Chains A and B, each alone.
Chain A
Amino acid sequence: MPTPSPDLYQAIILDHHRSPRNNRALEDGACHAEGYNPLCGDQVTVWLRVADGIVQEATFQGQGCAISQASASLMTQALAGRTVAEAQALFERFQRVAQGKPEPQDGTALGKLVALSGVSAYPMRVKCATLAWHAMREALGGAALPAAADERTGGRADASRESSPSAAPPARLPAQ
């Protein structure tokens, strides 16, 4: 039997792909945003219920490759209970790791999300992993922060802008 792919398709990713967590829409009171990658058709909608500056609940629905859907599923688990600032910092941190940059040694550790760091070896797949994260940041922008660099997408995160992480305003960057 051929050896399974050790780096990218780890068991935890396959598990979240087969049995996505928090895979539902949220009703009233939740903010949401859609992420869409026009290059491959991957689509994810992320819902966030934010109260008192804390993400109470995060859910998603979508369709696409295993990486995009597992990443969304893992993200919803990682976000629950975080402050908005922590969620922003997690976005930056996750994006760094997905792009193959070292994870900063301070701040909130990625935990299980590290399983997705294998995408850094596949430049064409980085956007799959970060799609839900862009949507999350878009949704947060609508909920708790003044609209900034992403406002021109009108609530739709466009993964084709992945190559310019500097689009995030300085206020959102984690301490480095």
Chain B
Amino acid sequence: MTPVTLLATTSPPAAPAAGGLDVARVRADVPMFRPRADGGRVPAYLDSAATAQKPQAVLDRTLRFYAEENANVHRGVYALSAIATEAYEGARERVRRFLGAATTREVLFTRGTTEAVNLVAQSWARPHLRAGDVILLTGMEHHSNLVPWQLVAEQTGATLREVPVTDAGELDMEAFHRACTADVKLVGVVHVSNALGTVNPVRAIADAAHAVGAVVLVDAAQSAPHLRLDVASLGADFVAFSGHKVYGPTGIGVLWGREALLEAMPPWQGGGDMIRTVTFERSTWADLPAKFEAGTPNIAGAIGLAAALDWLDGIGIERAAAHEQALLAAATEELLALGGIRLFGTAREKGPVLSFTMDGVHPHDLATVLDEDQVCVRAGHHCTQPLMRRFGVPATARASFGVYNSADDVARLVSGLRRARAIFG
């Protein structure tokens, strides 16, 4: 095959320097951070919790699929279709390794975390739950791990129960254990809070849930880029994450589920590729994982996700996490030194998320002032309105870090905050 030349440079995977991470090499891998042809300023991108920037390797792999390997999967007899199928199923195997799952039969591709949660809500919970059953969720769930359960509660007569959050932004585990009673049939918990950064004790939660016969879904959207996920040690029954937060493309995500549970679940969506036989009246279902992947999947997305996982592996997720934690610690210290800053989420164990407000400056004004210096932070409720209500604020500003962020990004954030203080006095 001829090499793809539509995209310019492809640097080799960032080899970590001895000890620390060579952030300049990592940044060289990501087109967003390369010097601008028009001389414009490279953004200080501090919103990786919303979506991560993409390494060149992901773009190249996606383009190569469309340029050289594009065909529908699981269908054609011809060689090209076999190549596409091999690449798509290879991506599934790559995700299986990422998760430490036993088999690719447990790895379902979805549009993202949201679709993965909805799949479990509609295909596992809806047929299982009835009036009197309880869905136990934490007070720090993203709307994507709350609203699907509200829908299924309405459909089944089950009720929602909330695990409260402490002032530090940790789960009140005593309250959790009190709430985790025999009527609880499903426990949904976010691994790392997108709004607070809190890392939740998923294993302890899963063990307590299993003791009362409940199944456990873990929203790993924020942990997948920063923590080594090992489904065996997490102890959950379902784990969901999104490709785009782990340096992959948008529109692709993963649901991992225990094989026995997935086997017993009815299909969620009907269509092509998920059937064994179809008569006009009825159908029988394909085996896992195809049973849950109706229609032409996001083939290029899955392949791009696999490339992203390779890229992250090349750096080393532990090394990435150590780098991000150093940035988080430095940024936390510098923000507090400014004075007049309120932090949201001071848990003992945190992902690289810094949620805060500045006295006298609304988060949206703060984000706009920072934007004038090309410093990108999120301002808003972070799709966690119940959590914002619990802390008594309509919104916070949030800086979140990825493996490509540098000390200079932190310095630009701090300087922008000083400028905001000067403007609003």
Verify that A and B bind, or say they do not. Answer: yes
Residues of A participating in the B interface, judged by any CB pair closer than 8 Å: 1-2, 4-5, 8-9, 14, 17, 39-42, 63-67, 122, 125, 128
Residue of B with least CB distance to A39: B380
Which of A9, A67, A122 contacts B423, CB < 8 Å? Answer: A9
> A152 → chain B, closest Cβ, in Å?
23
Indicate the member of A2, A39, A63, A64 with the most B CB atoms within 10 Å. Answer: A2
Which of A14, A64, A122 contacts B362, CB < 8 Å? Answer: A64
B68-76, B146-154, B162-170, B364-372: which lies at the interface? B364-372
Residues of A within 8 A of B422 (CB): 1-2, 4
Which of B351-386 touch A at CB < 8 Å? 361-365, 368-369, 371-372, 379-381
Say if the beta carbon of B214 comes within 8 Å of chain A.
no
B415 touches A2 (CB 8 A): yes
Residues of B within 8 A of A125 (CB): 364, 368
Q: A1-B422, A2-B418, A4-B422 are in contact. Are A41 and B369 (CB under 8 A)?
A: no
Interface of B is mostly: helix
B419 touches A8 (CB 8 A): no
Q: What number of residue pairs across chains A and B have CB atoms under 8 A from each other?
A: 54
Which of B372, B380, B418 contacts A40, CB < 8 Å? Answer: B380
Residues of A within 8 A of B132 (CB): none
B369 touches A40 (CB 8 A): no
Say if the beta carbon of B66 comes within 8 Å of chain A.
no
A122 touches B371 (CB 8 A): yes
B364 touches A65 (CB 8 A): yes
Residue of A with least CB distance to B418: A2
In angstroms, Cα B425 to Cα A108, docked, is 34
- Interface residues in B, total, Cβ within 8 A: 21
B365 touches A9 (CB 8 A): yes
Q: A39-B380, A40-B380, A41-B381 are in contact. Are A4 and B365 (CB under 8 A)?
A: no
Indicate the member of A14, A17, A40, A63 with the most B CB atoms within 10 Å. Answer: A40
Say if the beta carbon of B424 comes within 8 Å of chain A.
yes
Say if the beta carbon of B394 comes within 8 Å of chain A.
yes
> B418 → chain A, closest Cβ, in Å?
7
Indicate the member of A8, A9, A39, A41 with the most B CB atoms within 10 Å. Answer: A41
Residues of A within 8 A of B361 (CB): 66
In angstroms, Cα B404 to Cα A37, docked, is 34
Residue of A with least CB distance to B395: A41
B369 touches A9 (CB 8 A): yes
In angstroms, Cα B369 to Cα A5, docked, is 7
In angstroms, Cα B338 to Cα A107, docked, is 48
Residues of A within 8 A of B394 (CB): 40-42, 63-64
Residues of B within 8 A of A4 (CB): 419, 422-423
> B206 → chain A, closest Cβ, in Å?
34
> B379 → chain A, closest Cβ, in Å?
8
> B360 → chain A, closest Cβ, in Å?
9
New A-B pairs, 19, CB < 8 Å, besides A5-B419, A9-B365, A40-B381 = A1-B422, A2-B415, A2-B422, A4-B419, A4-B423, A5-B369, A14-B423, A40-B364, A40-B379, A40-B394, A40-B395, A41-B381, A64-B394, A65-B363, A65-B365, A66-B365, A67-B365, A122-B371, A125-B368
A14 touches B364 (CB 8 A): no
> A57 → chain B, closest Cβ, in Å?
27
Q: A40-B395, A41-B395 are in contact. Are A14 and B372 (CB under 8 A)?
A: no
> B412 → chain A, closest Cβ, in Å?
11
In angstroms, Cα B158 to Cα A122, docked, is 44
Which of B364, B369, B423 contacts A128, CB < 8 Å? Answer: B364
